[in-house]
Chains A and B, each alone.
Chain A
Amino acid sequence: MHAFRNILRTEARLYLRDLPTLLTTIGLPTLILVVLGLIPSLRKPDPTFDGQTFVSYFAPSLLVVTLAMVGVNTLPSVLATYRERGVLRRLATTPAHPAALLAAQLVLALAGILASALLLIVVARLAFGVPFPRHPLGFTLAFILGTAALLSLGLLVAAVARTTKAAQALAVPLFLVTMFFGGVYLPRFLLPDVVARIGDYTPPGVQALLDAWTGTSPQPLHLAIMAVIAVSAGAGAAKLFRWE
C-alpha cells in the first residue's frame, strides 16, 4: 500500500509533466465541443434529434474521444513501454510489486477520463445550455461500465502485445473502430442504421450515455453488454499479462 502510494505520486508527477498529452487527453473533447458550438445552426433545436440541438446530441460521442484515447491508446502503450524498457522488471527486483505500477496507471487513466468528462459536461452546460445528465444514476452507471469496458480492452492489448510497436499495432485499429462506432467521425444519425445499432453495443456504449444524458434510463441490455466486455477482457488481461 505504502509502495503503491509512492509509485502513484511519482507516476502522477510524470503524467503532469507531459503537458501535450495531458492537455489533449483532458481538453480535446471540450475543444471540439466549443468549435461545433460556435456554429449557430448546430445550437438550434432540430427535429432530427428529437428536438434537441446537434451539440446536445453529439456531446456523448465526444465523451468517447477521451475514453478511446486513454483506454485503448495511452494506457496500453504506456504499459507496453514500461515492460519493454524493463521498468516493470526492475520493480520486480525490489520489495514493490510491478502490479502497483499497473494500478497507478489505471488510477491516472481514470482521473484523466473523469477530469475530461467533467470539463465537457460543465462547459456544455454553461456555454451551450446542454442540460446536465437528466438521469444521473443511469448516466453514472453507463459511464462507469463503458469506461471499465474500454480500460479492460486496453489492458488486454497491453497483455498480449510484447512490445510498444505491437501494442500500437493493436491499439490504433481498436481506437479507430471505437471512435467510428461511437459516432465521433460521422455523427450517428448519418451512419447506416445497422452501423449505429452495432455502435450501441461497442464500448463505451454511446447510446446508453445518450439515453441517460437526455432523460430516459439506459437500456439494461446495453449496460449488461458493457459489463460482460469489461469482465471478460479484464479476466483475459489478468490471465495473459506478462511483467517482462
Chain B
Amino acid sequence: MPVIEVTHLKKRYGDLVAVDDVSLAVEAGEIFGVLGPNGAGKTTTVECVAGLRVPDGGGVSVLGLDPRRDAAQLRQRVGVQLQESQLPDRLRVAEALELYASFYRNPADPAELIDKLGLGDKRNTAYKKLSGGQKQRLSIALALVGNPEIAILDELTTGLDPQARRDTWGLIEQVRDSGVTIVLVTHFMEEAERLCDRVAVIDRGRVVALDSPAGLVSTVAPEQRIRFRPSAPVDDRLLTDLPEVSAVQRTGSQVVVTGTGELLHAVTSVLARHQIVAADLRLEQSTLDDAFVELTGHRPAN
C-alpha cells in the first residue's frame, strides 16, 4: 500500500498554474525522486503533500490521512526539510535539535543524531558560523529528529560542494535503511540516479514520466554506442544483421556500432564467433541526463 498518494493535484497562484495535473504514489521504504526543471512545480507539489499549501483540486493522502484535516497527526509522523529555510543566527546546533526534539512525542536522541550527521564537533556552534554543508546537515537532522515515517527533503544538496553532496547521499541511504520513506526533490540527475528507487519527472506542472532511473533511461533514451578497433577486418553486415544494431559507422580504424537492448553482448558474441578481438572497446550509454533532456527539452541545471 502506498504511503503517499497524489491524484490529479492542481494548484494555482493567481493566474499562474504551478501544478496542473500531478498524480503519483510513493511506496513504503523507497526513496522517491521528484525531478524537473526550475519552476516545474516540484516544491508546490511536495508542500501540498506536507500540508503547507492547500490544493485547488485533486487529492492528497499521506499515511492514509488528509494533510489538512489530520495535520496534527501528520506533523508527528512526517519530517520536512524545506527549500531555503534557515534558523536564527545565534541559535546553536544542539539547542536547535533539542528544541525541535521537544515538539515530538517520540523523538530521536538529539546527541546521537548530531554525531550521526557528523556535527559532533559543532554542537555548540552558532548557526551563523556553520558552513553551507553543515547548515544543510542540521536542516536534515531537524527533519529527522521527530523519528518520522516519511521524510520530505526539498533540494537537499543544492549549494553544496561535490564532497559534501556525496556525504549527504551516504547519509540519506542510511536513513532509508533505517526504514524511513524518503521523498527527494532534486534537479541533480546524478543524485537521482544514485539514490532514487523511482523518480517522477515533472515539467510545467505535469508528470511526464514515472519509473526507476534505469527504466527511464532505457525507455526514453535507449540508444547505446559501442566503439572498438577490430583485430581483423569486419564485414558491416555481420553487425547490421543483429536485431540489436541500428547503425554501423567507421572512423579510421575504429568501428562505431549504435543500437539498443543487449547490444554489447550481441556484438561481442558475434565478434568472438569470428575470432575477432575488439581492442579499446568502449560502451557509451545514455544517462538520466539524456532522458531528462528528451522528456523536458531542458538541460538539467548542473
Contact = CB atoms under 8 A, between A and B. Distances in A.
Given A6-B102, A95-B76, A90 B90 contact: no
A86 interface: yes
A212 to B, nearest CB: 38
Contacts of B95: 10, 13
A48 interface: no
Contact of A94 (B75, B88, B91): B75
B91 A3 contact: no
Contacts of A86: 82, 84-86
B87 A87 contact: yes
Interface size class of A (residues with CB under 8 A): 20 to 34
Given A6-B99, A95-B75, A95-B104, A87 B86 contact: yes
A25 to B, nearest CB: 16
A10 B91 contact: yes
Contacts of B103: 3, 6, 94-96
A87 B72 contact: no
Contacts of B99: 6-7, 10
A14 interface: yes
A193 interface: no
Given A14-B91, A86-B86, A95-B75, 19 more contacts: A2-B102, A3-B102, A10-B91, A17-B90, A82-B88, A86-B82, A87-B86, A87-B88, A89-B52, A89-B85, A90-B82, A90-B85, A90-B87, A93-B78, A93-B79, A93-B82, A94-B75, A95-B103, A96-B103
B146 A94 contact: yes
Contacts of A90: 82, 85, 87, 142
The dominant DSSP class at the B interface is loop
Most buried by A among B86, B87, B88: B88
Nearest to A78: B88
A29 to B, nearest CB: 25
A18 interface: yes
B52 A92 contact: yes
A82 B127 CA distance: 14
19 contacts: A6-B99, A10-B99, A14-B90, A14-B91, A17-B90, A82-B88, A85-B87, A86-B85, A87-B85, A87-B86, A89-B82, A90-B142, A92-B52, A93-B52, A93-B79, A93-B80, A93-B143, A94-B75, A95-B103
Interface in B135-151: 142-143, 146
A94 B88 CA distance: 17
A95 B102 CA distance: 10
B100 interface: yes
Given A3-B103, A94-B146, A18 B52 contact: no
Most buried by B among A3, A17, A87, A93: A93
B50 interface: yes
Contacts of A94: 75, 100, 103-104, 146
B37 to A, nearest CB: 23
B50 A93 contact: yes
A6 B50 CA distance: 24
Contacts of B84: 86
